[in-house]
Every structure is written in C-alpha cells, then in structure tokens.
Structure 1
C-alpha cells in the first residue's frame, strides 16, 4: 500500500513537472515619453519708462517676443494691470483712462511695410479698457499666403512688435493728474497648440 502511494506521488510529480517543459523567448521594450517645453522670452522686459509727460504726448517703443522652447506656441495672450499713484490725493478719475495704446503692431504677422487697424494686436484702446481684454500678440488676423507668417510662434522663432502710447489730450481740465504716476504691468502668457499624432 505504501508502495502504491509513493508511485502515485511520483506520477503526479511527473505530470506537474511536465507542464513546464515548453519553448519560450523574451523581448524587452524600453520606452520614453519626453515632454517638450514652452519658453517665451521678452526683450526688453521693461518696455517703457518715461517721465514728465503731459496731455498730448505720445511714445513709440519696440519689443521682441521669442520662443526659446522646443514646442510651437499657438497664442501669446496679453493681460494688463496697473496701479496709479495719486501725488496730490485729488484724483476723481482713473489715470489709466487717459493713457491710450494707439496701436500695437506685430511686424512679422503683417505684410511688410503696411498696417491697418484690422491687423493690430491692439488698436486705439485705453489702459483701462485693455484691462478687460486678452489680445493675442502673435495672431495673424488677415493672413496673406506667401507674404507673411501664419499666427503663432514656432520654436526658435521671434516676433517684433511696435507699440505707441499716448497721454490723451481731451480738451478738458486734467490738472488732477499733475505729478501722478502709473505703473503698468503687461503679462504675456504663451499657450501650446492642440495635441497632434506623434
């Protein structure tokens, strides 16, 4: 009887061991997901610093937006904020309503040597009005193929923008703004494009 049990255990062992007797082969896949970068630079970082302005004065400035990242930028949204220092404590009005951006023009997104209100980033807008807007600084609203760039900012590319500010003369008493100062903050926020097949 003991011999029968031993034989049965041996038979089960052989059957179980036989289940591992097959051919096999193994390959290993090593994969990588590397994220790109959005890196927008602004030069100069201080676009305007001017003193002793009076109603009727205007100021032209230029600045450059550059994509130093590895991904294309689809939009660069401009947001505006400012603070006013009331030198005499007599302001009844907002100084930002009297400083106007007559134009902000992206030279690289327009036909060389021409511009109209249609292709402007900003057109005749006070700083107060601009606070509620977020224009795209690298858009091309009137794209003409073979003559100019599409909207956006490709990796490694840059756009030059011209801007004109004016302390608007409104033919009314603006004495309350004598000695006042306005600190303007412009934030340029780069946005990626839509996802694509890779």
Structure 2
C-alpha cells in the first residue's frame, strides 16, 4: 500500500473518531426555556331545585283530573349547558288489575297502555312556551325523550346556550288523566274502566349535555 493511501485511511479514521466523540452536537452556544401549562376540565352539574315538588304521589285519580307541579333547574357547574333532556324510567310495583264485567268479559292491559292515559305538558314559566307535550308512555325511556332546552349543535356561531353557569330556568309541569268516552263494542261501558285500581311508579331523569367543542386560546 502506498504512503498516500495509508495517510488517507488514517485521516478518515481520525475524522470518524471525532464524529463519534462529539455525539452529533455541533453548536457550542445553547439556550433552554420552559413554559408552565395547565389543562383544567370544567364541570357539568345540573341541579333540580326543591325535588319534593317533582315527587308525584297522587292517588284516587279519575279521568279528567289533572295537577300542576313546578320544575326548577339550575346550572351549578362551570360549563354552559347545551341541551337538557328528560325521560322516564319504570320502577317496580306495576300490577295489572283485571276488570271483570259480565258484558265484555275480563279485560287486561299493559303498563304502557295505562301510562298512555296520562298526558304531560311541560312549558316554561316565563313566556309560556311549551317544550314537551305527550303521554307518559312516550316519555318512558326507550320510547321518547323530551327536550327542555334548545340545542346549540344546529345553531350558527355564536352557539345558543341552553343554560349558562349559575343560571336557573323554571317550568310548569301539568299531568292530565285524559278522559276518553270510547266504549266497548256493543256496550255502554267505557274502555277506560279497565284502568280502575291500577298504579304505575316512574322516575324522572334529567340529563344535561355540554356545549359543542370549540377553538380555545389562553383564557
């Protein structure tokens, strides 16, 4: 091997050694800065005021009877509420009471049929806008949902807030045992006779949902 080739290989090996020792750091000057960041999730907290007013325990009802209750909802969280929905859940205690009559025979019915005899109307106390008007059977979970506030998801920006933090909204809730004069075929007996002595237990569930996500900068 010539002297020139030996010198070339020596220089290459030396350069490789310098590269490995340096670890890829080429700058002599350096500056490091840090920032402090926090990510704090807000709270969504819907409060039903004076829940005793929404505990219905009305007995000895007959078709045509009705009663009205006050519903007060408050946003106790830090986030604005978009929608407030209400639905109903069946609780234990239903028992069909067969109605026996010599003219039409023994008549039975389901809990949903019984609940369909009761209409529930929910309207805002201020302004009187009706936000829900249908039967209790429709309000039972899996059948229907009542939307108590407007939705922001279909509104252009700025979005419509259903209920702002610390805000309160009131509703009048009217439940009516609807009177139906329908009779059985070839009989003067009213069909609603089959509901005599029956009872259904329901739980009302109020669900609040958040506003749609949006671009956020430092507050």
Q: Same fold (TM over 0.5)?
A: yes
In structure 2, the partner of 1:157 is 167
TM-score of the two chains, using structure 2 as the length reference: 0.67
Structure 1 residue aligned with 2:117, among 92, 98, 102?
98
Q: Provide closer, same or farther for how the CA distance between residues 197 and 135 of structure 1 changes in structure 2, counting only shifts above 3 A.
A: same
Distance 1:158 1:92 in 2: 40
> In the TM superposition, what is the alpha-carbon distance from 1:134 to its structure 2 partner?
1.7
Q: TM-score, normalised by structure 1?
A: 0.73
Structure 1 residue runs of 4 or more that deviate by more than 6 Å after TM superposition: none
Structural mapping, 1:71-110, within 5 Å: 71-82=79-90, 85-86=94-95, 88-90=97-99, 91-92=108-109, 94-101=113-120, 103-108=121-126, 110=127
| Number of aligned positions between the proteins | 173
Q: Which 5+ residue runs of structure 2 have no aligned equivalent?
A: 1-12, 100-107, 152-159, 182-189
- The match for 1:139 is 150
Q: How does 1:1-198 map to 2 (within 5 A)?
A: 16=21, 22-46=28-52, 47=54, 48-82=56-90, 85-86=94-95, 88-90=97-99, 91-92=108-109, 94-101=113-120, 103-108=121-126, 110=127, 115=128, 119-123=129-133, 125-131=134-140, 132-139=143-150, 152-171=162-181, 172-198=190-216
Q: 1:174 aligns to what SS in structure 2?
A: helix
Distance in 1, matches of 2:27 and 2:44, equals 55
**Residues 184 and 21 of structure 1: CA distance in aligned 2, closer, same or farther (over 3 Å):** closer
Rg larger in structure? 2
Please provide the CA RMSD for this pair.
3.1
Between the aligned partners of 2:109 and 2:33, the Cα distance in structure 1 is: 77
